[in-house]
Chain A
Amino acid sequence: MKSMNVKFSINAKSYEMDVDVRKSLMDVLRELGYTSVKQGCGVGECGACTVLVNGTPLDSCLYLAVWAANKEIRTVEGECKDGKLTAVQDAYVEEGAVQCGFCTPGLIMSSTAFLEKNTVEDLSSEEIRKAHAGNLCRCTGYQTIVNAVKTAAKK
């Protein structure tokens, strides 16, 4: 099967590689060791595979890896810098928004993109829930996640 030579960056690290056109971005990220990217459903329903591509959250399971050519990808591995958690990660810990943790990397990326775009401190629960509607969590019941996003917005 066809492969294409593509360049992209993952968490600011440059890559150039031949990519099989049949692979999703999720497949490639996991093969490269970015295993924070989880496969839940594989069909765009759960958001466990959410990564940022040029700052936009998307389901990497429904995104061909070749589409990432010349783009900047962010996964949760790149968020924590020099051992220091981001405001979003801190807030998730503080609010107890993590239980089994399977949904957490995807949710952190959704929250991160959401808060990079919405810089006001006062966010309604409704807005937060809408912005996270593409991420399913089987454990928390979501309230702690909403609290975490509110807390992070104030940091």
Chain B
Amino acid sequence: MFPIEEYHQASNVADAIQALSKDATARILAGGTDVLVRLHGGNSDYGRVVDINDLDELREIRMDEKGNITIGALACCSDIIENELVQKHLPMVAESLATIGGPQVRNCATMGGNICNGAVSADSACAALVYEFDLVVEGVGGQRIESINGFHTGPGRTILKQGDILTSFLVRPENYTGFSACYRKYAMRGAMDIATIGCGVALQMAGEKITTMKLAFTVAAPTPIRCRNAEQVMVGEVFSEENLEIMADELEKDVAPRTSWRASKEFRLHIIKTLAKKEIRRAVKSQGVAQ
């Protein structure tokens, strides 16, 4: 049995906000693939839960007439991966989520949870960063929109406050239309593993020239990050292998990998540079420029 001390099943978003704001230590329970694991391990920080699993309105995936795509925070990875809108417009979201855990985990785990628990290794974080997700948050003061840029503030930390609940992700058409995007997870195993490094890129070209490029990493710093210095090397330039090398050196200014039992700092830096080059090449190729 899970050591749950206090359990509240929220009946709607307002009810969840109320339950969370009157209990300073209450945590949101969504797909359960993080919270229940921690509870199983006896972590008492998770003993008081507000269960939002009944809020089916947070599972919706839809597009409005302007092309804004909404992905409900409670949509599970498998539903997002199999969604036609996502496959057509946000293929890298599907590609990233498919690297999480295994099938059973993906059938429960939510993208909302993956982003909100603040893990440095969150597989959907690169997609959120390169597609520049907006996060629709409801809280005591009503609804507000937060950018994914700056959302993560440290390992396991985000800007969300007690009483806040992420209800959906909003992806704007200018952030996906015409982009080629791809993600690669470097891990020791092909499934059921945590990323040693995750790398995502989205770019747009006009002829041979890269006009926009967004490069993001997980596990390369204390939070998932965008790499503005490296991006600048490539943007406005004709794609070339020489430029890729300069970009790889410039990356050292953007990242701050560390040594852990999974990998050393040096090895991580090597993987960061290698993946950046590989994924940029892959994205360039799918923009139609033969390599």
B192: A residues at CB distance < 8 A: 45, 133-134
A104: B residues at CB distance < 8 A: none
Q: Which of A1, A22, A50, A59 has the most CB of B within 10 A?
A: A59
B191–A21 CB distance below 8 A? no
- What mask results when residues 161 to 193 of chain B are scored 1 for a CB within 8 Å of chain A, else 0? 000000000000000000000000000001110
A134–B101 CB distance below 8 A? yes
In the complex, A67 Cα to B7 Cα: how many Å? 13
In the complex, A130 Cα to B103 Cα: how many Å? 8
A22–B108 CB distance below 8 A? no
> Could you say which of B32, B36, B40, B191 contacts A134, with CB atoms under 8 Å apart?
B191
B107: A residues at CB distance < 8 A: 56-58
> Could you say which of B4, B40, B101 contacts A21, with CB atoms under 8 Å apart?
B4
A58–B102 CB distance below 8 A? no
A108 CB → nearest B CB, Å: 14
- What mask results when residues 18 to 33 of chain A are scored 1 for a CB within 8 Å of chain B, else 0? 0011111001000000
> Could you say which of B3, B7, B40, B103 contacts A43, with CB atoms under 8 Å apart?
B40
- What mask results when residues 45 to 60 of chain A are scored 1 for a CB within 8 Å of chain B, else 0? 1010010000011110
- What mask results when residues 1 to 21 of chain B are scored 1 for a CB within 8 Å of chain A, else 0? 111100101000000000000
A42–B103 CB distance below 8 A? no
B37–A62 CB distance below 8 A? yes
Scan residues 15-73 of chain B and give those whose CB is less than 8 A from a CB of chain A: 32-33, 36-37, 40-41, 51, 53
> Could you say which of B40, B103, B190 contacts A110, with CB atoms under 8 Å apart?
B103
In the complex, A2 Cα to B104 Cα: how many Å? 27
A62-B37, A63-B32, A64-B51 given; A27·B1 CB < 8 A: yes
A1–B103 CB distance below 8 A? no
Q: Is B105 an interface residue (CB 8 A)?
A: yes
In the complex, A142 Cα to B32 Cα: how many Å? 28
Q: Which of B41, B101, B104, B191 has the most CB of A within 10 A?
A: B104
B51–A42 CB distance below 8 A? no
A47–B102 CB distance below 8 A? yes
A43–B37 CB distance below 8 A? yes
A20–B1 CB distance below 8 A? yes
> Could you say which of A21, A22, A42, A62 contacts B32, with CB atoms under 8 Å apart?
A62
In the complex, A42 Cα to B37 Cα: how many Å? 8
Q: Is A40 an interface residue (CB 8 A)?
A: no
A62-B32, A67-B53, A133-B191 given; A23·B1 CB < 8 A: yes
Other A-B pairs beyond A24-B36, A58-B107, 10, CB < 8 Å: A43-B37, A43-B40, A61-B40, A62-B32, A64-B32, A64-B53, A110-B104, A133-B191, A134-B192, A135-B102
26 A-B residue contacts at CB 8 Å? A1-B7, A21-B9, A22-B1, A22-B2, A22-B3, A23-B2, A27-B1, A43-B36, A44-B36, A45-B192, A47-B104, A57-B103, A57-B107, A58-B108, A61-B40, A62-B37, A62-B105, A62-B108, A64-B2, A64-B36, A66-B9, A67-B53, A110-B103, A130-B103, A133-B190, A134-B105
